[in-house]
Structure 1
């Protein structure tokens, strides 16, 4: 069964969702910059509403748009946002932190991990900024840190046609080998998600056009 994750930047579209068609919602704000952390009130109301519909939630932890290189002040804000999302009953957390040379920021991950309190972690499309030949090592590192999912478009340009990146996505899924879940997004719709899953071997899809 293919798991469909709807990406919502506010509460407006949630009334149109139903389980089991949509199994999970990634909750964020400001999709124009790729998504940032939603407000306390949005997280609280979305968790309550979606849990009543048996839909799980994944809350974006990202203090701003732009790159994924964060200073100490931003990381402390991310810690606070993580604690808040956990307190409000979120089912998983979505984050991504990189160094200036687009490697996983191990120091930042290790700083944030205690605040997550064991909640499932998703590494978002910041993953696609990692050089392609180093993404397999990054998968191993994320598994070691306890991440449960990676969201990928297969290419740093999320506006590019995802069908052009089928081979790379397929190689990532094969390498992950069920040790970590790979969820594909960026141009995934109700019309093409089944074909994309067939071509790549993906079992999870993500997007704003899945309803």
Structure 2
């Protein structure tokens, strides 16, 4: 088994630089993670993160226009294609996408358009995979479409509770797709996830910051990267803390 990589989902420049400095191999850049599960970040944030992190740390941009279902209207898909092209033009190492049809299966036409827009950059299919009715054909379709990896919790709310399906995903992917475990991952879970053969683990490694934005600004505070959690995840993978 090769080296298991660490990906951290980040929402700001501080989180990106901290994760990179502590040993993250890859970043998923997104916005509004706690509230929506993640949506497309701004162009300005992407530019700032790319300028701030070293080139060996791949920045992969989540392209998701809204919260809710992964079934998209034609105009929503058009926006995603444009966002993928913009991320690639800005210098992102890859994009993270997902689209399903009305039956809940992989929307092959949509994914094909998104892969084409990525123009050779790595494409990750996100946790929309956890909702498909049958796993194996979904993996076959994604591999055939040129997707590089899948992000999955094994169909559970937390990856640690989806170990059996994660193992089945690794077995069926058979090297055609990288399998990255993500979904409620804590540093204490990393060893078990590595044990089922995943290629990478994915954490938000976040902490909540209290504070109201005042009238019109919301009342729930926000989340940002917790460097201590990133460092614990690095250690859990058997690497020295930086």
1:74 corresponds to: 76
- Give 1:37-52 correspondences, 5 Å limit: 37-52=40-55
User: Which stretch has the larger CA shift, 13-22 or 58-67?
Assistant: 13-22
Matches of 2:26 and 2:178, distance apart in 1 = 14
2:142 corresponds to: 142
1:6-59 per-residue CA deviation (whole Å, 9 max, x = no partner) reads 00122231232235721000000111211111000011111121235x311110
- Residue 203 and residue 107 in structure 1: after superposition, are their counterparts in 2 closer, same or farther (change >3 A)? closer
Contact 2:59–2:93, Cα closer than 8 Å, also in 1 = yes
What stretches of structure 1 move > 6 A for 4+ residues in a row?
A: none
Contact 2:160–2:189, Cα closer than 8 Å, also in 1 = no
1:127-156 per-residue CA deviation (whole Å, 9 max, x = no partner) reads 10101xx2111111111110000000011x
User: How far 1:112 sits from its partner (Å)?
Assistant: 2.7
2:39 corresponds to: 36
- Give 1:102-141 correspondences, 5 Å limit: 102-131=104-133, 134-141=134-141
- Residue 165 and residue 113 in structure 1: after superposition, are their counterparts in 2 closer, same or farther (change >3 A)? closer
- Confirm whether residue 205 of structure 1 aligns to residue 208 of structure 2: no
Matches of 1:203 and 1:19, distance apart in 2 = 21
**Structure 2 residues not aligned, in runs of 5+:** 206-228, 231-242
Contact 2:126–2:150, Cα closer than 8 Å, also in 1 = yes
2:171 corresponds to: 174
CA RMSD of aligned residues (A): 1.5
Number of aligned positions between the proteins: 204
**Structure 1 residues not aligned, in runs of 5+:** none
Contact 1:68–1:97, Cα closer than 8 Å, also in 2 = yes
Q: Secondary structure at the match of 2:106?
A: coil
